């Protein structure tokens, strides 16, 4: 069985997207896995620290336990998303124990986010985690640049953020960062934004983002490894497909399937089966009609590409 790192490398070389679906509620795990299997796709299922602090997935152990019930390794692997060194509230996080726990539980890849540190600090933190992950034979994702989160803190309007390139990942820094950290995948900022997590904004449509493809070309050349797009919900489809041909391989989707779950749960009076069905339908649509990723499992996970 190929490692997750080898699968993502296969996808990178072939220009095939690997969707990564965040599950802030445990009942979302089964419908996501079912949709990926039914469409013969390959995807990651993932959970971030913010999702067990602000939602109901409870943490890495609970997610791993639920994931193991529906495990389909030819189609879905488990990734630990966004473990920050400095969190969304500006607080220092004891991040290494969280990452060690996930690795010991059997997560197939992990992410450390040192993007709120200076470059040197981010390099040092990422190198520690990459060394830890590689010792266990798994891939390490990192982040460089400033990806805004919708609805948090004072922000420029989206169009101004995009026009100025504020927070975009530096190509010069990306080359140095990859070389000095040994990370396997790099999350970059090229116009993408994270979805809102506040209750006040959870039902609002996410801002449609577009991607600076010329800058992405520079990042691919500088980094030379699979690139990751966080905040995949709401990105213009043409931009997304063009980005995949320019090195974006893993694309995170959280807001879109979380909103489907929450809205169906509310409309049905708390019927979890209805909420699960909504997640299945939305995930299926994303795989088939947005990503065009139906039938990719054998292409990237079956060992046909190396």
Residues with a known catalytic role: 81
In order, the DSSP letters of 177-213 are HHHHH--SEEEE-SS--BPP-SGGGTTSPPPPB---H
In order, the DSSP letters of 23-37 are -SSGGGHHHHHHHHH
Exposed, middle or buried: residue 125 (CB in 10 Å: 0-12, 13-18, 19+)? buried
Cα-based distances in Å from 120 to 148, 219, 239: 21, 19, 32
Classify each residue of 179-213 as buried b or exposed e, where b means 16 or more C-beta atoms within 10 Å of its C-beta. eebbbbbbbbbbbbbbbbbeeeeeeeebbebbbbb
User: In terms of Cα–Cα distance, which of 183, 159, 164 is closest to 173?
Assistant: 183
């Amino acid at each position: 069985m190929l490692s997750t790192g080898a699968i993502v490398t296969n996808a990178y070389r072939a220009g095939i997207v690997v969707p990564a679906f965040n599950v802030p509620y445990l009942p979302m795990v089964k419908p996501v896995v079912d949709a990926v299997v039914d469409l013969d796709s390959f995807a990651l299922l993932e959970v971030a620290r913010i999702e067990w602090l602000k939602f109901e997935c409870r943490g890495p152990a609970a997610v791993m336990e639920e994931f193991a019930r529906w495990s389909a390794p030819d189609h879905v692997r488990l990734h630990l998303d966004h473990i920050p060194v400095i969190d969304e509230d500006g607080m220092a996080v004891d991040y290494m124990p969280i990452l060690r726990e996930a690795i010991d539980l059997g997560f197939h890849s992990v992410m450390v986010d040192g993007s709120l540190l200076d470059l040197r600090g981010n390099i040092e933190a990422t190198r520690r985690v990459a060394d830890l992950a590689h010792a266990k034979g798994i891939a390490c994702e990192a982040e460089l640049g400033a990806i805004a989160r919708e609805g948090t803190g004072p922000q420029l309007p989206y169009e101004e953020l995009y026009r100025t390139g504020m927070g975009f990942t530096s190509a010069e820094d990306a080359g140095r960062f990859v070389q000095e950290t040994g990370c396997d995948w790099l999350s970059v900022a090229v116009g993408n934004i994270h979805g809102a997590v506040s209750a006040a904004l959870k039902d609002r449509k996410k801002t449609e983002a577009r991607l600076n493809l010329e800058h992405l070309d520079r990042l691919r050349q500088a980094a030379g490894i699979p690139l990751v797009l966080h905040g995949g919900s709401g990105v213009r489809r043409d931009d997304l497909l063009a980005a995949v041909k320019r090195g974006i391989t893993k694309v995170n989707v959280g807001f879109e399937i979380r909103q489907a779950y929450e809205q169906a749960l509310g409309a049905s009076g708390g019927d979890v089966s209805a909420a699960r069905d909504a997640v299945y339908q939305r995930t299926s649509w994303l795989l088939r009609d947005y990503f065009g990723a139906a039938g990719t499992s054998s292409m990237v996970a079956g060992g046909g590409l190396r």
